[in-house]
């Protein structure tokens, strides 16, 4: 059957082959089931919502309607009504088969309208029944409701919420009612994420999450799976956040995703996030990238992430030059317009090394552009991230399983802590505290919080960065005085 499927190019013929599978699910070849289950489910959903062409719908389910009409099981002969109803039933059949093949102890509850059970006799109500039918909603309707109530979220977070629910639905094999989701479903999903290749929608276009896992396993050189930190801090966290909200809205009795995490590797017995070592920072800031005569988006993206501890994709990518100014005698970068998160709206004083490296000249140049963006070449969420994580850091030999672009931000926090910076000031710098309310408790002699934040951020000392700052200052001075060429400047750098 698998060979016939691959050999046929006609959608109708392929659909007919799917129909054969549907008629004998328990006996079907495991490989064919894994590869075709998602396609089959999508076809059935299309029949159910009326979007599949009539000839394909008939090829998929027509035989079953003919059989039932002959046996007089159907109460109507209107095929346009029978096809969607039967598609819903077959979706339930497919879901049950997938559940059994994955070793689930209990079959999922049927969701097709014509399979709805009659009301039970009066008795103790289960938590689900007690919530009432009016509150029974599916996964697909959850994100929109959640976002309407939480309309202050950043656009990136909104997108990730939608993707998190889509991924979970793909794993489940259907659009479950919330009260059907169990602890076992979430645990199995967590285990699947450990095997899921990163960027699976791009690498296996059209494949569902379970299909991508199987297709990746079949490759001679499989793609690397998702990072465990990404699984925990993004996909499982988003799922738990949304399901937790659903519990508070009485859409489901409990949050099955609460506390579910992949066991991540610990460092020296604790769970502290990885930071760059002094040797790694030296390799980074003594690399050819930082020896280039003119610095652009790549250099300043790295330096700003380190020396301001700003979140690169959600904050720095959108920062504009007109938001760099003096506040209470200190240069700051204003991140109030670069993020929608209330606690992330903040002023961050510029580190002295950042100024010594010539950042203010970069700001002047950016102000002359129409868009005023500080990092104009950062055109998408991913292009700078991807280059740093996949090309720059590995090329220097400093990339590990535990570090990435965001490690610059974590390194700044750890270095401020070692330098004795006050916790309150660090929380304001990192965007972990709302400056509009907490800031009034952090007052320096000028009557503002900026002075103490400036002191805190400059308690972080990075010798590799500071050395680079001295070299650039010397190069600028020598270049102006003696008009030296770049070769001489590079020699100065080499033998400093």
Q: Is residue 475 part of a domain?
A: yes
Residue 415 domain-assigned?
yes
Give the per-residue pLDDT at 340: 52
pLDDT, one tens digit per residue, over 94-133 is 777 776 666 665 556 666 555 544 344 444 444 444 444 4
Give the residues across from 327 on adjacent strands: 330
Report yes or no on 263 lying in a domain.
Answer: no
**Distance of alpha carbon 351 from alpha carbon 303, whole angstroms:** 10
Instruction: Look at residue 273 and tell me if it is in a domain.
Output: no
User: Are 31 and 180 in a shared domain?
Assistant: no
Same domain, 89 and 236: no
Q: Do 443 and 297 sit in the same domain of this protein?
A: yes
Q: Does some domain include residue 127?
A: no
Residue 129, in any domain of the structure: no
Residue 108, pLDDT score: 61
Copy the structure tokens of residue 432.
Answer: 């972990």
- CA–chain centroid gap for 249, Å, is 25
Same domain, 198 and 243: yes
Q: What letter would DSSP give residue 148? A: H
Separation CA 460–CA 429 (nearest Å): 13
Q: In what order do the strands lie in the sheet with 347-349?
A: 324-327, 330-334, 347-349
Q: How far apart are CA 342 and CA 407, in angstroms?
A: 23
- How many structural domains is the chain composed of? 3
| Domain match, 20 and 88 both | yes
Give the pLDDT score at 216: 92
The residue from 93, 111, 129 where one domain ends is 111
For residues 62 and 193, state if they share a domain.
no
Indicate whether 92 and 181 sit together in one domain: no
Q: Which residues contact 425 (CB under 8 A, 6 or more apart)?
A: 442, 449, 452, 453, 455, 456
pLDDT for res 60: 75
Q: Which pairs count as long-range contacts for 335-339, CB under 8 Å and 24+ apart, including other chains?
A: 335/310, 335/431, 338/314, 339/154, 339/311, 339/314, 339/315, 339/431
Q: What is the pLDDT of residue 318?
A: 76
Position 386 in a domain = yes
**Which long-range contacts does 124-133 make (Cβ < 8 Å, 24+ apart)?**
127/253, 127/254, 128/179, 128/252, 128/253, 131/179, 131/250, 131/251, 131/252, 131/253
Model pLDDT for residues 173-212, shown as the tens digit of each residue = 888 889 889 999 999 999 999 999 988 999 999 899 999 9
Q: Please report the pLDDT score of residue 117 as a whole number.
A: 43
Q: Give every residue of the chain whose pLDDT is below 50, as ranges.
A: 1-9, 14, 17-18, 21, 74-75, 116-134, 266-271, 438-447, 480-496
Q: What pLDDT, on the 0 to 100 scale, is given for residue 438?
A: 46
Strands (E), 293-374: 324-327, 330-334, 347-349
138 DSSP β-pair partners: 177
pLDDT of residue 348: 92
* Side-chain-facing half-sphere of 309: CA atoms under 13 Å: 29
- Same domain assignment for residues 65 and 163: no
- Looking at the structure, tell me whether residues 477 and 350 fall in a common domain: yes
- In this structure, the number of other CB atoms found within 10 A of the CB of residue 233 comes to 15
Shared domain check, 479 and 349? yes
Verify that 217 and 342 share a domain, yes or no. Answer: no
Residue range of the domain that includes 13: 2-111
Model pTM score: 0.49
User: CB within 8 A of 466, min separation 6: which ones?
Assistant: 353, 356
254 falls within a domain: no
**324 plus 452 within the same structural domain:** yes
């Amino acid at each position: 059957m698998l060979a016939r499927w691959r050999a046929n190019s006609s959608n109708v013929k392929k659909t007919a082959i799917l129909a054969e599978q549907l008629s004998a699910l328990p006996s079907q070849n495991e490989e064919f089931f894994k590869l075709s289950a998602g396609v089959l489910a999508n076809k059935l959903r299309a029949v159910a919502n009326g979007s599949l062409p009539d000839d394909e719908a008939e090829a998929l389910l027509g035989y079953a309607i003919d059989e039932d009409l002959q046996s007089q099981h159907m109460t109507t002969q209107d095929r346009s009504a029978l096809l969607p109803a039967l598609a819903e039933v077959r979706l339930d059949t497919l879901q049950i088969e997938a559940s059994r093949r994955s070793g689930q102890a209990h079959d999922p509850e049927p969701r097709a309208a014509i399979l709805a059970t009659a009301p039970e006799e009066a008795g103790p109500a289960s938590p689900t029944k007690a919530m009432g039918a009016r509150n029974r909603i599916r996964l697909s309707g959850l994100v929109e409701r959640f976002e309407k109530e939480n309309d202050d979220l950043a656009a990136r977070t909104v997108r990730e919420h939608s993707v998190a629910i889509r991924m979970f639905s793909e794993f489940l094999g259907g659009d479950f009612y919330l009260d059907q989701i169990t602890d076992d479903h979430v645990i199995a999903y967590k285990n699947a994420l450990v095997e899921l290749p990163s960027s699976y929608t791009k690498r296996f276009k059209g494949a569902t999450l379970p299909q991508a896992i199987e297709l990746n396993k079949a490759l001679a050189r499989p793609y690397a799976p998702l990072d465990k930190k990404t699984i925990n801090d993004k996909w499982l966290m988003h799922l738990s956040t949304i399901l937790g909200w659903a519990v508070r809205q009485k859409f489901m009795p409990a949050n099955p995703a609460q506390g579910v995490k992949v066991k991540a590797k610990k460092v020296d017995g604790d769970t502290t996030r990885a930071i760059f070592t002094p040797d790694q920072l030296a390799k980074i800031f003594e690399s050819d990238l930082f020896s280039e005569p003119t610095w652009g988006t790549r250099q300043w993206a790295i330096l700003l992430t380190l020396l301001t501890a700003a979140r690169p994709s959600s904050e720095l990518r959108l920062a504009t030059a007109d938001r760099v100014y003096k506040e209470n005698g200190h240069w700051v970068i204003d991140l109030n317009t670069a993020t929608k998160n209330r606690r992330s709206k903040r002023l961050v004083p510029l580190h002295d090394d950042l100024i010594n490296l010539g950042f203010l000249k970069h700001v002047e140049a950016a102000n002359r552009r129409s868009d005023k963006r500080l990092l104009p070449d950062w055109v998408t969420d991913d292009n700078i991230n991807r280059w740093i994580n996949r090309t720059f850091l590995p090329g220097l030999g400093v990339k590990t399983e535990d570090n990435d672009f965001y490690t610059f931000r974590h390194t700044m926090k750890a270095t401020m802590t070692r330098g004795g910076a006050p916790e309150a000031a660090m929380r304001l710098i990192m965007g972990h505290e709302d400056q509009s309310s907490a800031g009034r408790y952090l007052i320096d002699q000028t009557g503002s919080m900026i002075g103490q934040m400036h002191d805190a951020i400059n308690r972080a000392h990075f010798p590799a960065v500071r050395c680079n700052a001295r070299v650039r200052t010397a190069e600028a001075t020598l270049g102006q005085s003696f008009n030296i060429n770049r070769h001489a400047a590079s020699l100065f750098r080499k033998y400093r």
